[in-house]
Structure 1
């Protein structure tokens, strides 16, 4: 079992702890804050309900969380050390002095710093590499990495293994790449506030209702390439490049953050979001990110591609009670309704993914479909037996009830972690020629696999199968 030491358990350190824990690492945290255990526990609750919901395979079994009484205790025996203390260079150097003598051979400290260069952090001889994440660390995949190449290579490997996207900087710069963009927008926003052009709420609307959505999937340059039309990026630059010289922005100047401006920002922010607690805002943020990231996941765009790549490294399959496990999935918020529980449409989606897994098991996989054959669903019956809520890990097993000629009849059982049967989904499918769109017998290898599986499942009870709508037993 790999072990991570987290030095500093605030918003960023707690996010790192959650990211490592939910990817199967044991985690030791050191933070002198007497409320650190409570705060990280609350953050971990949020992470448990959101990160697994991004995947259609289960993450590894959760690691063990412990709280150390000292930096040395946390670091001793650790395979990875993540420093997330306050942005004070003297404090970071003092922490590195404590850590240095307790690193394994070839070990280093990964710093979450949001602005200091690795050479600044390593100025007193400690082996330090910048591994700068974005909040919430357990959901957003980017980690900006800089420092000595030998450390960056190892950091790249570890960061990718826990489902993140490592971006190694070609050159050392203060504030790295992402924060430079954020600070540029922040400066412009402060001027708009000070000059009375817009309120905090109006500025946020301008971002989240427009280019923020485009950037989430395509970033900056792909967005502008499309804006150039069929002629592409060159056309865009020819049209809009000259406007960069117009006096439209104050990005080279920063308003003084005097008491009046700070008070204005505070009052407007309170009016905008003060009715929600910090934890409520975090849950809202996480739910929105899960919905956006799962949307990107469907096409593999942007951060969705990182999720799919990580998911391919996660184990699938297995058996439960002698039946193949065709899906294990945490319920995302997008599957819940105004009553707070999983809604009817989500059960259909759950059943469809389980059916796809069974099809792969018998050889009707992507290559088979590409050859022009597949199974089409013609009838489905769902029994809702127990409430299911956001974040519940569901396990689906599939029993093959019938496989004769063109027909394939499946019985999916959906169980909760406590073993309670939450639902059953009975599905009848017909094998179909995708060219003629007519039913036809499956290819011999698929038919043989179905026959073998049907024989293995023969004689097993299938409680509720074959009943009418409304029949509960």
Structure 2
């Protein structure tokens, strides 16, 4: 059964939420009085459709239905999740909740994207305060997984669990903040960095570009995969965190930063920052900057996937939830995916090495289908590729949806031969083929041997099904 989410407020954050729900198969109903809301969300959704599928090696679920509504009452009809992303004015948010709760289902969860208000403040004038929680995301919502889920004692344990389960099912990481505080957790760190950056600019120490370079070429990458304390634990060497604290703790008494002393954000300082930012990035449009950002995040998070760490582990776990089971057919659809940006080379098309990976993944899918799965391999048996011939027939670009169709052209004894065809889904054009010959191997002796009877029977059956007349 398709679930429905209502998005109240369709700006950058609301549009990102809409994309996250929609691309995970939810129907999405949007309310925003801005006459440009449909266009703006359409542009955000275009970026999301380009970006999010590249994080995964299988196709995302079929998109839900997107609709725009003239009233909040229409938008919340049938919604089990309502995401509020209106401007950061408490009176406005409270007014929105009063209208929402007049018309929405009493069992729906109302999440607020607020970065500053505490949930108790949002619940203040609500008819059903127990229905409202803070679900603070990070831009772009359709790519970054962190959601600060902030609750109060008025929210039941069942509602908190349901909210966490829903967010997790969307590929997100709900960080449950059990004790509310202004600006939650993450933005308090960001505020500290922002304050220091203002001083560095005001005092003429660094420009906006130099500060950004200090982050993106250094600790930003480090924090992105390990966080603060684990990073510092490693800095302590074999003696660990205590040694780090003993060694570096005294520096907190040194007059390095000015975190407790905020410069006045005068027109002069604001203009200085704006001018420097224009010099740094003004040659690119916002959409170009977003695309650049998305491609960078994709490459970084796919690298983390390969290592099975941090956000990469989360993506791997999420992918399992919608990996399809193969069906016998003539042929078998052994792979369906989007070509990610990090698979392309300096010519702008898919690197030849990635074809080998794609066809290897297709062969792995066939192996799993016939019973030579992870458990079979753990028990000491597998298929090794002995010979592969790949033909490159047409260019493939990043963002294109492709499928691989596979036929078992030989399946007897130790031998398994697969013929793979890579096709562009949009027009069916044949992009590449692979003739792959494999031998069954005993992993202990590392020598060829016959497969177990049940696997051999499945291989023989597919070979018979795929035999050309």
- TM-score with structure 1 setting the length: 0.93
Matches within 5 A, 1:10-409: 10-126=11-127, 127=129, 128-147=132-151, 148-150=154-156, 151-319=159-327, 322-409=330-417
Q: Distance in 2 between matches of 1:10 and 1:225?
A: 40
Q: Secondary structure at the match of 2:143?
A: coil
Contact 1:317 1:327 in 2 (8 A): no
Distance of 1:370 and 1:108 partners within structure 2: 43
Compare 377-386 and 250-259 and name the one that shifted more. Answer: 377-386
Other-structure match for 1:420: 429
* 1:458 counterpart = 2:464: no
Instruction: Classify 1:320/1:175 alpha carbon distance in 2 versus 1 (closer, same or farther; 3 Å).
Output: farther
Q: Deviations over 1:131-183 (max 9, x none)?
A: 11100000001111112432322211211111111111020111111111111
Q: Distance in 2 between matches of 1:58 and 1:393?
A: 9
Instruction: Give unpaired runs (5+ residues) of structure 1.
Output: 461-473
Q: How well do the aligned residues superpose, as a CA RMSD in angstroms?
A: 1.7
Offset from partner CA, 1:357-390 (integer Å, 9 cap, x none):
1111222222232333322222222223333222
Q: Secondary structure at the match of 1:403?
A: strand
Match of 2:284, SS state, is coil
State the shift of 1:320 in Å.
8.0
SS at match of 2:272: helix
User: Do the aligned partners of residues 335 and 207 (structure 1) sit closer, same or farther apart at CA in structure 2, a change above 3 Å counting?
Assistant: same
**Which residue is 1:431 aligned to?**
440
Residue 463 of structure 1 corresponds to which residue in structure 2?
none
Deviating more after overlay: 74-83 vs 414-423: 414-423
Query: Aligned-pair distance for 1:317?
Result: 2.6
Quote how far apart the aligned CAs of 1:452 are.
2.4
Residues 165-209 of structure 1 show CA distances to partners (whole Å, capped at 9, x for unaligned) of: 111102011111111111111111111111111111111111111
Provide the residue aligned with 1:471 in structure 2.
none
Give the CA deviation at 1:319: 3.7
Alpha-carbon shift at residue 425 of structure 1 (Å): 1.7
Deviations 1:336-361 (A, max 9, x none): 23343323122111111111111112
By how many angstroms is 1:106 displaced? 2.3
- Select between 126-135 and 272-281 the one with higher mean Cα deviation: 126-135
- Find the aligned partners of 2:420 and 2:241 in 1 and give their Cα distance: 50
CA distance in 1, matches of 2:414, 2:298: 39
Aligned length: 460
Match of 1:467 in 2: none
Question: In structure 1, what is the Cα distance between the partners aligned to 2:210 and 2:190?
Answer: 17
Kindly report structure 1 stretches of 4+ aligned residues shifted beyond 4 Å: none
**Cα deviation per residue 1:393-447 (whole Å; 9 max; x = unaligned)?**
2122221111233322111122222333332222112223334433333333333
Query: What is the deviation of 1:335?
Result: 1.2
Q: Please, which moves more after superposition, 370-379 or 218-227?
A: 370-379
> 3-state DSSP class of the match of 2:103?
coil
Alignment partners' CA distance in 1, 2:392 and 2:21: 35
1:442 pairs with one of 446, 451, 463: 451
**In 1, distance between residues paired with 2:334 and 2:324?**
8
Query: Any stretches of 5+ residues in structure 2 without a counterpart?
Result: none
TM-score by length of 2: 0.94
Quote the Cα distance in structure 2 between the aligned partners of 1:203 and 1:162.
34
Deviations 1:10-39 (A, max 9, x none): 110000000011001111111122211111
Q: Distance in 2 between matches of 1:405 and 1:100?
A: 66
CA distance, structure 2, for counterparts of residue 359 and residue 243 of structure 1:
57
Alpha-carbon separation, structure 2, partners of 1:130 and 1:42 = 26
